[in-house]
Amino acid sequence: MIIKILYFARIKEAVSYSTEEVDLPADVSTITALKNYLSLRGDTWASLFNGKQVVRAAINHALVDDLAVIQAADEVAFFPPVTGG
């Protein structure tokens, strides 16, 4: 299934781009699975998504936990803990 992924703040800088479309294998259907899948892209990705850094996720503009299920055409966003206000 094809989804859109957005990256923000230090994660955007680390991966050097802000948005992409990805065609996911059928077994990548949760945030945890997607993080593991992205970790396979290389050292930078592994260090971001191997669980040592806190990376928050949103699906279709709502904060979710890592067990949340991803569906086709979803907009998934990854970002560090927020620091507004």
Nearest to 3 by CA among 79, 84, 81, 73: 73
Minimum CB–partner distance for residue 66 and another protein (Å): 17
Residue 52 or 61: which CB sits closer to another protein? 61
Residue 16 or 26: which CB sits closer to another protein? 16
Residue 65 or 75: which CB sits closer to another protein? 75
Minimum CB–partner distance for residue 7 and another protein (Å): 10
Minimum CB–partner distance for residue 27 and another protein (Å): 27
Rule CB under 8 A: which residues touch another protein?
6, 8-10, 54, 58, 61-63, 75, 77, 79-85
The 8 Å CB, 24+ separation contacts for 58-65 are: 59/31, 64/31, 65/31
